Every structure is written in C-alpha cells, then in structure tokens.
Amino acid sequence: MEKETIIKLSKSFEEYAYEQDGVNYWLARELQDLLGYADWRNFLNAVDKARESCKTTGEAVSDHFVDVTKMIGLGKGGKREVEDIMLTRYACYLIAQNGDPKKEPIAFAQSYFAIQTRKQELLEERIQLMERLQAREKLAATETELSKNIYERGVDNKGFANIRSKGDWALFGGHNTSAMKHKLGIAENRPLADFLPTITITAKQLATEITNFNVNKNDLKGEARITNEHVKNNSDVRTLLGKSGIKPEQLPAEEDIKKLERRVKSADKDIVKKKLKGKNE
C-alpha cells in the first residue's frame, strides 16, 4: 500500500471518529462507506460476525455495539428514520478482521484499529501505573509526617515501627506487617507497601492521615495512646472496605513498585529520544 494511500485513509478514519464521555466511537453506516461496502445488508453480516467474536473474547457486546436510530434527509426536504450502530474502536477492529484484506480500506482498517486499540490499552495501563506510584508517594509522605509528629511526643523509630505494624494488623484482619510479607512472599527488608495494590495503599494512607490528624487534634502522647488511635483508624477503614466486599489480606501482591518506577522512567526517556530523532530527521 502506497504511503499516500495510507495517509489519506488514516485521515478519513480519524475524521469520522466521534467522542462521547471520553470514548471514541464510529457510526456503522459511515464505517460501511469507509470499508468499501456498497450494500448495508452485506456489511451487517460482518457486524454480526464481529459481535460473535466479541462475545467469544469475553467482552460485553453491549459495551462495544450500541444500536441507535437517526434521521436522514430525503428529497424535497423529507426525512426518514434509519437504524445505525455506535461502534467502539474495538468493535471496528473486529469488523475489519471479518472483512476481505484484499480490499485496501479493509487491510488498512485491520492495522489501523489494531494499533489504535493497543495505544488505548497502553494509555490505560500507564494511567494505572501512575495512580499506583502516586498513591505510594502519598503514603510515604503521610507516614514521614506521622513519624516526625509522634517523635516529638515521646515515640522513637522502634515505637513508630510497632505502631505501623499494629495498624497493619488491624487493616489486614489479624496479619501484622511481617505476617503479610510472609503471606505475599515479600523479603523482610522491603517495604510492604511497595507490593500492595493501589486500593490497599490508599487505605493505609487514609488511616495514617486520620491518625496524624487526631494525634494533633487530641494532643495524643506516648506509644500506647497513639497505637490505639492508629489501630482504631485502620479497623474503621477495613470495615469500610468490607462493605464493598474487599478484604485487603486476600488481594494478591502486585509488581515491585521500584521496577515500575524504572520502567516508567525508561519509557519516558524513549519517548523523548524518539521526539528528538523526529525533529532531527
């Protein structure tokens, strides 16, 4: 396929995209023309096959194929209601996969939507990684603040470690920090939070933030009183999670957050290099 054809088709597919609630979609009757189908019924055969493919992959068909109606103009100012389908990027990809790749528009669409779908997946993955990294940074900052706060109230580093471990005991249903590390296969010298999912990191941060607030508000002093406060707050957060059926101790460990940081930094460097290379070419 010639470069000019690729550029032309790419522009066409992008111009026909709509957006609703941050999600791109295409209308079936317009995609029909883009893919070179002259007959609507023949195109619907490809759509039906795509629906079956979607069902086979375990995706909810209704999330990707939405039946709608619209008005089209007729001669002399008349209008008629016709059936149409809102199609997600993934739905378009499946339709293209069920087309004849010998036709240039379909061959292009197969690659175009495959790449666009992958880009969306990578973007969503990146957002999830950044949310976890940000949650971890926020927890570290909150714990540092609490450590400094309670040091002035007669609690040393060993006491702070005890307070945090007993808080974990309350949050993880009777598993203290060391027990959770053993349960999840984490080395004793590594922070537990580096391997927790975002929801659990956020839960720990919230409980710690409340502890910090109440230590100041109620002028709590000594390891025993602050421990009781921290255990209560973690228990309360655990109860809140339980209302949604979430038991933190049952959630599997996630990838080491230090590895994620290195991967994100490496990916950012690659993006910068590619941009610089593009400017110099």
Q: Which two tokens stand for residue 67?
A: 């039946």
DSSP 8-state symbol, 41: H
d(CA 103, CA 86): 23
With a cut of 70, list the residues of the chain below it in pLDDT: 1-12, 71-79, 117, 119-124, 264, 267-281
Residue 190 DSSP label: S
pLDDT at 123: 64
Greatest CA separation for the chain: 87
Q: Is 256 helix (H, G, I), strand (E, B) or coil?
A: coil
Residue spans of beta strands (DSSP E) within 45-148 = 65-73, 79-88
**What does the block give as tokens for 95?**
């339709």
The pLDDT of residue 263: 73
3-state secondary structure of 186: coil
pLDDT in tens, 184-217: 999 999 999 999 999 999 999 999 999 999 999 9
Six token digits for residue 63:
């999330």
Beta-bridge partner residues of 69: 83
Q: Return the pLDDT at 279.
A: 47
Angle at 91 between CA 264 and CA 123, to 5 degrees: 10
